[in-house]
Amino acid sequence: MEHIRTTKVEQVKLIDRFSTSNKSLMGTLYLTATHLLFIDSSQKETWILHHHIAAVEKLALTTSGCPLVIQCKNFRVVHFIVPRERDCHDVYNSLLQLSKPASYDELYAFSYNPKQNESKRLQGWQLIDLAEEYKRMGVPNSNWQLSDANRNYEICDSYPRELYVPRTASKPIIVGSSKFRSKGRFPVLSYYHRDKEAAICRCSQPLSGFSARCLEDENMLHAISIANPAHHCMYVMDTRPKLNAMANRAAGKGYENEDNYANIRFQFVGIENIHVMRSSLQKLLEVSGTKALSVNSFLSGLESSGWLRHIKAVLDAAIFLAKAIAVENATVLVHCSDGWDRTSQVCSLGSLLLDSYYRTIKGFMVLIEKDWISFGHKFSDRCGQLDGDPKEISPVFTQFLEGVWHLTEQFPQAFEYNEAFLLQIHEHVHSCQFGNFLGNCQKEREELKLKEKTYSLWPFLLDEQKKYLNPLYNRDFSQKLVLLEPNTASFNFKFWRNMYHQFDRTMHPRQSVFNIIMTMSEQNKQLEKDFKELEATMKQRNRQPEELLTKEPLQSVHPASPALKTSPCFKKEQPLLPMKDSIRTIEGSNTADNRYSEYMEELSKAEPAVVSLEYGVARMTC
């Protein structure tokens, strides 16, 4: 609270940035320890978490007040007009401090309290068990084993404790290989395809320079290749452009020399580095945030940003990897520079194409835990959680989610989760509300004691699972797809409006196809429920005449009342008139196809003199 100079500012205007008439809402701005809150005159609340704020800009004073523009990591942009410059300056300085915490304990996750008991909080952290996930894949087995070489993070501090390696890879080979790889990230198992006996492995670039070699690293790759009994030749995928990899040789790094490694086929796939991606996103946001652009200007701006071209490059790499395993039965080793950005993108998307489990809600959580969180994607640096080097910030995980979204657009029946699920995960990657994405690696998370001090995101998403279900999902269809093969022709890539304009409601279609389908699905479920209730009621009513029939012989013992004997209502039932005279057709139908004819046929049968209202007809002859 020491950073907050002004807690409340009245008569603040919130501008709709895409309104041609500069439409605005008048309200009050509040500054709390965790949020910026705007309440307009109709009592509608707009909450902005401090950790979501990427940039704050105070513009020049105007006749209507002092403009304050806030850009958020979840792509919300808010434009306030504060009446007094001094208040605007105070809010501006406070937000600069509050949006860039200096240490982890200042993050929202450490103060967030959803009022869960301790046991439930711990159960939330135990929801995802990666050991169980590897068992589901079929590991350990005769070719792959769990290694304790990194049990105390002594070989690689950015890898998890538990790593799976070939059985023929001894500890000296592992240690030697780690010394020859950038950041000590030696080749390990990421995904095992039980049917093909092929694997996706991951690592960082070798420290080969122009001519250096390492026997232990060569033996490590040989052990990985022979761990696949169906295909001893394996691919080594370098996800970088070839020019970038060659430039790294001058710094003593580089890529594998095929002459030094037996049974490998080398492949570059050309995904750009984090700096290019950061610049590309900035250009995309400039185009999408410009008001009243012509169609030509928007499309040319989208093209010049290069954003969709980068998404295509990532997906093409994942498709190459998946086909190598599904079609050729070949194991693939993936790396980039340090093995925690492009490598995570390609390994996770490749696994998604190969395994229908990762297309379920629970499976997608497991995939993120495995290939992103446990293998040390630097969420803290890439998402700018702390006040650090802005050049380390890059939308690597956002690109992964966008790649998944494009897959859901091409295969709407193959995914259990919908777009809202992806957007909610993106929201909390940047919110710092939960502990899952804090820090840069597992070792750092253990030192922060996140499982003791914070909450896990996954149980909260599962509690609201109904909101994230895809109504078009077909489990049988998804499981039958051995491999998702998306078409990556240029025209299949489109601007993700609901990601980059999700808070700009005026930019959305007046009718949402997804919302219509969800509404129809709910209506169908309600109709099915009503039908079952009506069916049960009719069965119960059908049993009532039978009960009366069983009681009638007992009643005939007693003499009938004189009134009943003489009443014409209880005379022998007269035959019904012909059907064409007795049936009233519903408007717009004819006698031949009238849905109630079967009921009238039932009524025409001779029955004991029982009054029945079952079909809405009183069958009394008086």
Convert the pLDDT of each residue in 100-132 to its tens digit.
999 999 999 999 999 888 888 999 999 999 999
Sequence-ordered list of residues with C-beta below 8 angstroms from that of 367, at least 6 positions apart, any chain: 348, 351, 352, 358
With 0-12 CB in 10 A as exposed, 13-18 as middle and 19+ as buried, what is 41? exposed
- From the list 277, 293, 269, the residue with the least C-alpha distance to 391 is 277
CB 201 within 8 A of CB 331: yes
- From the list 383, 346, 352, 345, the residue with the least C-alpha distance to 366 is 352
CA distance linking residue 601 with residue 505, whole number of Å: 57
CB 503 within 8 A of CB 76: yes
Predicted confidence band of residue 74 (pLDDT cuts 50, 70, 90): very high
In the predicted model, is pLDDT for residue 476 greater than 50? yes
What confidence score (pLDDT) does residue 94 get?
Answer: 95
* pLDDT digits 0-9 by tens, 458-474: 999 999 999 999 999 99
C-alpha to C-alpha distances, 194 to 228, 325, 363, nearest whole angstrom? 11, 11, 17
Tokens of 38: 């705007």
**Rounded (10°) angle between helices 307-326 and 274-288:** 130
In the predicted model, is pLDDT for residue 569 greater than 60? no
CA distance linking residue 387 with residue 345, whole number of Å: 25
Cα radius of gyration (the chain): 33
In the predicted model, is pLDDT for residue 488 greater than 70? yes
Residue, of 590 and 305, whose pLDDT is higher:
305
Measured in degrees and rounded to the nearest 5, phi and psi for residue 457 equal: -70, -35
Among residues 201, 336, 432, 441, the one annotated as catalytic is: 336
Half-sphere exposure of 363 (CA within 13 A, CB side): 18
Predicted confidence band of residue 332 (pLDDT cuts 50, 70, 90): very high
Average pLDDT over all residues of the chain:
88
Q: In the beta sheet, which residues pair with residue 38?
A: 29, 46
What confidence score (pLDDT) does residue 506 get?
Answer: 78
Q: CA angle 36-42-45, nearest 5°?
A: 25
* pLDDT digits 0-9 by tens, 383-421: 999 999 999 999 999 999 999 999 999 999 999 999 999
CA distance linking residue 378 with residue 72, whole number of Å: 20
Amino acid found at 356: S
Q: Is 347 one of the catalytic residues?
A: no
Q: In the beta sheet, which residues pair with residue 189?
A: 201
Q: Kindly report which listed range (214-218, 500-504, 519-523) carries the lowest average pLDDT score.
A: 519-523
* pLDDT digits 0-9 by tens, 247-291: 999 999 999 999 999 889 999 999 999 999 999 999 999 999 998
Residue, of 569 and 70, whose pLDDT is higher:
70
Q: In the beta sheet, which residues pair with residue 200?
A: 191, 332
**Rounded (10°) angle between helices 396-410 and 307-326:** 70
Tokens of 416: 């259990």
* pLDDT digits 0-9 by tens, 524-554: 889 999 999 999 999 888 887 666 556 555 4
Measured in degrees and rounded to the nearest 5, phi and psi for residue 364 equal: -70, -35
Predicted confidence band of residue 516 (pLDDT cuts 50, 70, 90): confident
Q: Percentage of the chain surpassing pLDDT 70?
A: 86
Q: CA angle 265-269-271, nearest 5°?
A: 150
Indicate the pairing of strand 332-335 with strand 234-238: parallel
Report the Cα–Cα distance between both ends of the chain, in Å, rounded: 86
Q: Is 565 helix (H, G, I), strand (E, B) or coil?
A: helix
* pLDDT digits 0-9 by tens, 499-515: 999 998 777 776 777 77
E strand or H helix that includes residue 67: strand 66-72
What confidence score (pLDDT) does residue 20 get?
Answer: 65
In the predicted model, is pLDDT for residue 615 greater than 60? no
Amino acid found at 391: K
The 3-state secondary structure of 467-505 reads HHECCCCCHHHHHHCCCCCCCCCHHHCCCCHHHHCCCCH
